[in-house]
């Protein structure tokens, strides 16, 4: 496993649409493991492959609960319910935080890393993370969705 370089604000790849994954092979498994390790190193909740320079429809999410990381390959949001204002940040936009409107619940379908198609009903932070990361796969970043006047820059030690 390895820490991958994060693509940061201003990198053109972040505005590109990611391609469907056709085969789940050893190379993809290495990418997934690297993405999880990279996300954990930077204390992220989610990471899309495009954020490490790979235009594949792969995202990893970890709520740091007892369930461990979730791997979503070719995710599709089927339904959304409700809407609320949430605080959001992004590993590709370090130290920037803002308020964004996100669904309270989502139903998504994806392929897991073993090739099985799975449906998930997610609420709150998991729903927010799925939406945020699926946006990345579409070439959208949270900075395009922020509520006016809510952007904050937070210095880190």
User: Choosing from 109, 133, 138, 155, which is the catalytic residue?
Assistant: 133
CATH number of the domain encompassing residue 123: 3.90.45.10
Q: Tell me if 6 is assigned to some domain.
A: no
pLDDT of the residue at 1? 80
Residue 124 has pLDDT above 80, yes or no: yes
Q: Tell me if 66 is assigned to some domain.
A: yes
Please confirm, yes or no, whether 133 is among the known catalytic residues.
Answer: yes
Q: Which domain holds residue 47?
A: 12-153
Whole-angstrom Cα distance, residue 108 to residue 127? 9
Q: Tell me if 1 is assigned to some domain.
A: no
- Cα 44 from chain centroid (whole Å): 9
| Helix (H), strand (E) at residue 31 | helix 26-41
Q: Tell me if 29 is assigned to some domain.
A: yes
pLDDT band at 157 (very low <50, low <70, confident <90, very high): low
Neighbours of 52 (CB within 10 A): 21
Whole-angstrom Cα distance, residue 129 to residue 134? 8
User: In this predicted model, what pLDDT tens digit does every residue of 1-52 receive, in sequence order?
Assistant: 899 999 999 999 999 999 999 999 999 999 999 999 999 999 999 999 999 9
The residues, ordered by sequence, that sit 6+ positions from 85 with a Cβ below 8 Å of its Cβ are 99, 100, 101, 147
């Amino acid at each position: 496993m390895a820490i991958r370089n994060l693509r940061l604000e201003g990198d053109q790849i972040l505005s590109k649409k990611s391609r469907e994954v056709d085969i789940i092979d050893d190379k993809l498994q290495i990418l997934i493991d690297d993405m999880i390790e990279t996300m954990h190193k930077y204390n992220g909740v989610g990471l899309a492959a495009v954020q490490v320079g790979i235009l594949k429809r792969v995202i990893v999410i970890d709520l740091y609960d007892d369930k461990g990381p979730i791997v979503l390959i070719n995710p599709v949001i089927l339904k959304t319910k409700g809407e609320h204002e949430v605080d959001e940040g992004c590993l590709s936009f370090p130290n920037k935080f803002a308020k964004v409107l996100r669904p309270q619940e989502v139903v998504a379908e994806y392929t897991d890393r073993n090739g099985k198609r799975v449906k998930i009903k997610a609420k709150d932070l998991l729903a927010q993370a799925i939406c945020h990361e699926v946006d990345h796969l579409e070439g959208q970043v949270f900075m395009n969705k922020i509520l006016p006047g809510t952007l904050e820059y937070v210095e880190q030690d």
